[in-house]
């Protein structure tokens, strides 16, 4: 029988020793983990402060550069601010829409012209842009054949394009937004273009509005006084302006705007 055992069972003393050994091991592991976390936190803080310092330094340099430029302009007698001119802009209220003729009959590309009452030799004309497409039925042709003839662009044909819309209505649209479309012929009404629905004009745009912004100039006026010798000198207004410019350093400007050091302060 061993010292730490009673029979085949560990003694209370041995169990106590094992517990404390385990606790010491866990404490060591936890301590190491805390050290790593602390090091990472310190590194993150240092990184944040460094980035904030770089950002503030860049902002200070930029403001100082602008201040130096303004002061030099004032000292050289050029106290006028840059002229700001908004570019003129033109916008069209609405564009012109080409003339579009829409029939009232319900058709399909397979519909025969004979079933619409158009006899062989029956004519339909489409005019636009000074040209006319004249179609004469063969007696066995279809609406699809009529569409092909209208869309076929010969130099003497009307400059239009034709199709059927979702309702099966014949739609003829001018290719030029200045042309008027006219549907005529003895059988024009058979395809949905009866009298009163035969001439279609383009919709002109409502015009364009032009907005032009005049140059805006901001300047400080420098008065002059004439001495008895007839020479002119700048008044104290310009001098005080320079003093005011000089008194406001880049750091104070950033501080006034609430920007300076805000990131650094948060992480410090």
Letter string b/e over residues 158-174, b meaning 16 or more CB atoms within 10 A of that residue's CB:
bbbebebeeeebbbbbb
CA distance 40 to 37: 5
C-alpha of 230 from chain center: 60
- Position 64 scores a pLDDT of 85
The beta strands (E) that lie in 186-244 are given as 199-200, 207-211, 224-226, 232-234
- Assign a CATH topology to domain 94-206: Alpha-Beta Plaits (3.30.70)
- Position 168 scores a pLDDT of 93
- Position 134 scores a pLDDT of 94
Using alpha carbons, select from 94, 52, 63 the residue that is nearest to residue 267.
52
The stretches in the chain having pLDDT less than 50 are 1, 84-85, 87-92, 209-240, 242-248, 257-268
- Position 78 scores a pLDDT of 63
- Position 171 scores a pLDDT of 96
- Position 39 scores a pLDDT of 86
- Position 77 scores a pLDDT of 67
- Position 234 scores a pLDDT of 43
> What radius of gyration, in Å, describes the C-alpha atoms of the chain?
45
Cβ within 8 Å of residue 116, ≥6 positions away: 105, 107, 143, 187, 190, 191
Helices (H) and strands (E) in the chain, counts: 5, 13
**What's this model's pTM, rounded to 2 decimal places?**
0.44
Q: The tokens 């004009």 sit on which residue?
A: 201
- Position 51 scores a pLDDT of 84
């Amino acid at each position: 029988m061993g010292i730490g055992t009673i029979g085949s069972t560990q003694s209370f003393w041995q169990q106590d020793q094992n517990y404390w050994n385990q606790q010491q091991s866990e404490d060591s592991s936890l301590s190491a983990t805390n050290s790593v976390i602390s090091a990472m936190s310190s590194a993150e803080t240092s990184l944040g402060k460094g980035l904030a310092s770089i950002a503030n330094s860049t902002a200070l340099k930029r403001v100082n550069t602008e201040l130096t430029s303004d002061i030099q302009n004032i000292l050289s007698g050029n106290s006028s601010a840059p002229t700001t001119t908004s570019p003129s802009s033109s916008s069209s209220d609405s564009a012109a829409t080409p003339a579009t003729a829409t029939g009232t009959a319900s058709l399909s590309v397979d519909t025969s012209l004979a079933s619409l009452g158009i006899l062989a030799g029956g004519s339909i004309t489409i005019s636009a842009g000074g040209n006319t497409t004249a179609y004469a039925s063969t007696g066995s042709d279809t609406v699809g054949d009529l569409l092909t003839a209208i869309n076929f662009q010969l130099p003497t044909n009307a400059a239009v394009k034709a199709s059927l819309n979702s309702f099966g209505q014949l739609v003829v649209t001018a290719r030029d937004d200045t042309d008027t479309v006219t549907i005529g012929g003895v059988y024009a009404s058979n395809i949905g273009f009866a009298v009163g629905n035969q001439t279609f004009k383009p919709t002109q745009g409502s015009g364009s509005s032009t907005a032009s912004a005049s140059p805006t100039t901001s300047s400080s006026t420098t008065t002059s006084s004439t001495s008895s010798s007839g020479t002119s000198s700048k008044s104290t207004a310009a001098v005080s302006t320079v003093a005011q410019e000089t008194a406001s350093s880049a750091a104070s400007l950033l501080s006034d705007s609430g920007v300076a050091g805000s990131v650094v302060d948060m992480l410090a």
